[in-house]
Structure 1
Amino acid sequence: MAVVFDKPSLWQRIAPIFQGFDIPLMLGVLVMAGVGLMTMYSVGFDHGTRFVSHGRNMILAAGVLFLVAQVPPQRLMALAVPMYTLGVALLLAVFLFGIQKKGAQRWLNVGIVIQPSELMKVAMPLMLAWWFQRREGQLKPLDFVVAAILLAIPAALILKQPDLGTTLLVLASGLAVIFFAGLSWRLILPPVLILVVGVITLVIMEDSWCAKGVDWHVLHEYQRQRVCTLLDPFQDPLGKGFHIIQGMIAIGAGGVWGKGFMQGTQTHLEFIPERTTDFIYAAFSEEFGLIGTLGLIMGFLFLVLRGLAIAADAPTLFARLLAGAMTINMFVYAFVNMGMVSGILPVVGVPLPFISYGGTAMVTLGVGLGILMSIAKSKRLMQS
């Protein structure tokens, strides 16, 4: 008697690819992507193709997210050491042979021009999560010292370029892994207290510290100017302080309800510099006001909480540390961008996730979200 097997339909063949996706995270990403497209259309409609390019970047990032989500955490773990080694090698190549633009040496020509520091935003947490997974159950203080050295090497190379914004993001992702791995509060509090005392001292002694000719030794001149401009942007209102002043004016002009979609005067009269990139938050606040800003913050808060929930529920230490680092990285992006536009942090050139224009940053965001989705999928498939 012949046995007849039904040929599986196309959906039955591709359905396993979509199994296990975290629905709340995906819905949150779709909502934030919609907000980003709406904002870009409003503030960048007179920038020609900015809206179209922003949409194309989102589609590219979505494709990257989908592909990375198919890679199980075990395979990601195997990529940790090669990616970190490649990243450090490329950073050394930038230091020796890099392309210099506007006083910064951050790019490398390998047939195409690349910025290797972007790779470290993913390679750094991968490497440290791999390291602590290898040491699980036998962690010693020396293991945290090794982790700090692994973090310090690329951070120092990126800071040397100089690129303070990317350095902060790489440090944030690496320190998040070290913290989640169980670093004692006794080791965390002293540097935090030193930082707080340093900031208070800087504010009190602003006039003498920011006087012309004073050498800060560890900071480049442009970095010193950014700190001094943060403390008093009105010392150079038409120069170094212009960005911060116009950003604060736009945020205040939005009031509670905002001026309305495509109605921002500060935005469309071109008072806000970089209104489609680093300072798009000021344009958003002017048009959508306090209510819109609170909604945007709630959107980021939802994604952060969902990411931490995925981290807490991850099946292995490597997956927990990596998911936590990817989540904290997204939080730092949003916090630093909103802080610098609002005048509470120095301007360091960090984009606002989903909202700011920029292909590289969007793809990096897609990689991070794809890793979160991969970890969520691995947990669901194990349970089923």
Structure 2
Amino acid sequence: MSAFSPTPTPVLPGYECQLSSDAVAHSSQKLDSTLLDFSHVPPSRLQKLPSTLSETLAYRCTCGFQIIDSSQLPPPSFPPKSDPSSSTHNLVYCMRNNFTPVSLLTDRFPIANNLIQKTMESLIIALREVFKADKEHAAVGNLTSCKFVSSWDEREIFVTFSYSDTISNSSEWLNFFRPLLPLHNITSLTARFQKQSLSLGREIKKINDRIVIKGTEIIYEKPEDAFCHPNRETMEKALEWLCDKIGSVKNGRILEMYCGSGAHTIALARCVEIEKILCVEIDQRLVDYCNSNIVKNNVQDKVKCVKGDAGKISSRLMRRRMKGGVENSTSPLDFVERFNCLLVDPPRSGLDGSVKKLAMSGEFEDMFYVSCGRSALVEDLKVLCEVFEVESLCVTDLFPRTDSVETLVHLKKKKKE
């Protein structure tokens, strides 16, 4: 902890459960609350995986903060009246709570993983030194915020600073930050301003990562600025649950919608006895990364990734199925002749209407739904359960100490009476 530490207890702005509260009880209670939405499901089919105490700290691999002159913060959020530094100017990390910036009160954010915390501290100390000497220095003048993104395995870290105006002296900025990269093992550092940027370190902003699921190491490439699961512990739990459940599907022929760069796809192809996966993603950049990950993990014979909107692809697949398919087709949509399993990980807003229609077309015996949108999932299940029934449902703690929950659902087609 640096000398600038007005209090030994950090603040978690916007978090429901502060460091002084019982995080394990909070985790269990919010999962119980979520399960109330599924009271129609037999209790034996419901499961919750609350966080342990260690999992409620140092877990986030992506964090963003404002960087503010402490003298500009509205009282009494910072600094405490009793603090002797209240009349001085210091750069501090802040987060917004109800649109008001609130200081973390320390140079580390206990919710971020250890690599991010260490980098946060070293950079803010360096920035304060130049701020005290010259507030107009290119490194700190017009500086508004920063973002930290690390790999799950905490071997790589990317830092992005945002500025409200043009950096007029790029040489000064580069000369200040260049020696900090090797000193603090920073993979890449970027300044963004007025639709422009300066950058040091790795030119291609991609994260090289790895995760171990059921004893199998899986390697990933993923773009630094695209969404990826921000909690390694929850991601591991979700992947292990999916592998167990999808592993029970005989001769799995899977259609995966919203696949991203292949986080679920590759784990399933490596860890589960399946026949094939056709995965769909709308972002061409993520499609490229997914295809790269398919090759890196040597699962080309099992997996194919195609670019497309989930809704439109669903409509095209339904039309092709009604026509009976295309004989000797080379279309990637015919990579799998007939599916028996659907996997979806939609945005918080839930499933596209066409995806729901495809799901209920009768082709799929099993469906797996990964959801971070609690209300959207409840509404989607009302429709899907006309054809399916909930075989099993698991709730996990997506962001410990917040109200966020990730829900995993295994749906099985109802048997005809």
Higher relative contact order (CA 8 A, sep 6+): 1
Q: Max radius of gyration: which structure? A: 2
More helix by share: 1
The two structures share one fold, judged by TM-score above 0.5: no
Q: TM-score, normalised by structure 1?
A: 0.31
